Structure 1
Amino acid sequence: MSEPVRFLLSDMDGTLLLPDHSLSQRTIDAVRSLREAGVLFSLATGRPPKAMLQTIEALGVDLPTAAFNGGTIVHPDGSFLVAHYLPATAALTTLALFADQPDVEVWVFSGGDWLVKDPNGPMVPREQHGLGYPPVVVESFEPYLLRIDKIVAASNNTELLIELEAQLLPKVDDQAQVSRSQPVYLDVTAMKANKGEALATLAAFLGVPLQQTAAMGDGGNDPAMFHVAGLSIAMGQAEEAVKRQADVVTGTNAEDGAAQAIERYILKR
């Protein structure tokens, strides 16, 4: 690709963030250098909007950002550029499939809240650390069916999540996106809530042609934007199936691979 990159859209967890969810100084400096070079920069993540605020502030992001894999694209003032909710029928199908699984914790994100039935699930502390706020305990997800941003099946049984992904896909075909954002999380969002749509929407909003965009990520929800971007960058620790869909592979997130990629593939161009 010979076109200069004018806009980089990056994943957060497993990409910009270290394994402990913090930002390294090298990454902060690399993003600052991008902006000084006139390259636009934003974030696309499976996280909810309020779980992005700390990173947005630390990196000085002043553009709309994509939460819930692109389900909501949020302006810096908190207003929405885009909001795509999961259709209630797809939500019911998903919840019914996940409900019978003993190894799976089911989380629903709605209206800014992280909803759980069991606050003592083994995966809850990890998510709470990553998000920076606790869940809201509910008896039923039914009252929220019309405004669900994302449903997550969380489990350390990664093989089971692969099976559930295969079972759910045909049931919600054309209604929902199903992808493992990390090996332990299976995300279900609206059909248009994917990072590819988010990249296209943001590029159009910013007036940047797609061939002058770059996308960087590590999870099963990132190839959607790899296929849209002019340049796609996979992290070193990504699964092979993710790496194969990227133009280039950088170091792992523990090695500041995102900063390496910015320095090598974007700033050097």
Structure 2
Amino acid sequence: MSDWRPRLIASDMDGTLLSSDDTVSAATVAEIDRWRDGGVPFVLATGRPPRWMHRIRKVLGAGTAVCCNGAVLLDLETFEITHEEPVHPDVLRSVTDELRRRQPGTWFAVEYGLEFRHEPIYKPRWDVDAPGVAEATLEEMVGQPVAKLLARHEDLPRDEFVALVEEVIGEQATVTCSSTDALAEISGIGVTKASGLAAVADRHGVGPEDVVVFGDMPNDIAAFEWARNAGGRAVAMAHAHPDLLAVATDVTVGNDEDGVAAFLASL
């Protein structure tokens, strides 16, 4: 594969494209621009919601962001949501009722496009006072479709809690994790970064065999397998979660060492 070159580049943000200080280095921006100037689209694939994409929009200027682990496609140039795959209220009620019964210390929050709602006892880690962020009761939150349901536990270990959520949900929805905390991210059935990237790649007339995907956490596994199984490249950061390293085709240096740019330059 020494002469292999991608026709589409996709990257996770936190722990991958972004440095530890939440910025993108000048070297990484220059490398991305070099590929885009050559006609290769660059796509973000992140667990972040659209409301967290304003700063990266200023850096990249245009392109598509696959947000909320594949549930939302965002046009960065116009900042318009072009597609959503929501979780419906009947699933939300079933899941939250059973999780609360099994683990009463589970607290919930939801992403609605550009807004975020959380139970009063839920402790958001970021943008607590930002526009679009507000408290709500669980009944209010599960009364309409959402892009993503978040379940958090303050005491259980991360992997134990995520395994419990997966057991409770079964085939009702898709569960993943991109945090070091006990935080499970719940999307609609079959909704993953892979499904979102497949939709974007199709718009560009590109198949997974011509895609390179970068990531560092378990919520990147579906996208890695989508590219790898077709002959594309799935590139893990050096510090990536062991489950992701197990399905990677390649490993690059860490995000603070411009791992994305380093690998792209090697091609």
Q: Is 1:29 equivalent to 2:27 in the alignment?
A: no
Equivalent position of 2:224 in the other structure: 226
Paired residues of 1:119 and 1:137 also in contact (CA < 8 A):
no
1:34-49 equivalences in 2 (<5 Å) = 34-49=35-50
Aligned amino acid, residue 93 of structure 1 = S
- Residues 207, 158 of structure 1: CA spacing in aligned structure 2 closer, same or farther, 3 A cutoff? farther
Paired residues of 1:85 and 1:146 also in contact (CA < 8 A):
no
- Residues 213, 113 of structure 1: CA spacing in aligned structure 2 closer, same or farther, 3 A cutoff? same
RMSD: 2.5
Equivalent position of 2:67 in the other structure: 67
Paired residues of 2:198 and 2:208 also in contact (CA < 8 A):
yes
Distance in 1 (CA, whole Å) between partners of 2:19 and 2:140 is 36
- Residues 128, 211 of structure 1: CA spacing in aligned structure 2 closer, same or farther, 3 A cutoff? same
Percent identity, aligned pairs only, is: 26
- Residues 196, 138 of structure 1: CA spacing in aligned structure 2 closer, same or farther, 3 A cutoff? same
Paired residues of 1:234 and 1:243 also in contact (CA < 8 A):
yes
Aligned amino acid, residue 5 of structure 1 = P
1:87-106 equivalences in 2 (<5 Å) = 87-99=88-100, 101=103, 104-106=106-108
Equivalent position of 1:176 in the other structure: 173
The one of 201, 204, 207 aligned to 2:202: 204
Distance in 2 (CA, whole Å) between partners of 1:158 and 1:58 is 37
The C-alpha deviation readout for 1:194-232, integer Å capped at 9, x for no partner, is 011112111111111221111111111101111112111
Q: Which runs of 5+ in 1 are unaligned?
A: none
Aligned length: 259
TM-score normalized with structure 1 length: 0.86
Give the CA deviation at 1:37: 2.8
Comparing 255-264 with 223-232, greater Cα deviation is found at 255-264
Paired residues of 2:89 and 2:143 also in contact (CA < 8 A):
yes
Corresponding residue SS for 1:191:
coil
The one of 115, 133, 138 aligned to 1:113: 115
Q: Which runs of 5+ in 2 are unaligned?
A: none
Paired residues of 1:199 and 1:228 also in contact (CA < 8 A):
no
Give the CA deviation at 1:69: 0.7
Equivalent position of 1:241 in the other structure: 243
Distance in 1 (CA, whole Å) between partners of 2:155 and 2:224 is 27
Give the CA deviation at 1:156: 6.0
The C-alpha deviation readout for 1:172-214, integer Å capped at 9, x for no partner, is 2332110111222321111232011112111111111221111
Equivalent position of 1:192 in the other structure: 190
Comparing 161-170 with 150-159, greater Cα deviation is found at 150-159
Equivalent position of 1:163 in the other structure: 160
- Residues 175, 254 of structure 1: CA spacing in aligned structure 2 closer, same or farther, 3 A cutoff? same
The C-alpha deviation readout for 1:10-41, integer Å capped at 9, x for no partner, is 11111111123222222222212221232210
Give the CA deviation at 1:157: 4.9
Paired residues of 1:72 and 1:193 also in contact (CA < 8 A):
no
Corresponding residue SS for 1:227:
helix
TM-score normalized with structure 2 length: 0.86
Distance in 1 (CA, whole Å) between partners of 2:100 and 2:131 is 24
Distance in 2 (CA, whole Å) between partners of 1:132 and 1:258 is 30
Aligned amino acid, residue 71 of structure 2 = G
Aligned amino acid, residue 190 of structure 1 = G
Equivalent position of 2:52 in the other structure: 51
Distance in 2 (CA, whole Å) between partners of 1:136 and 1:171 is 27
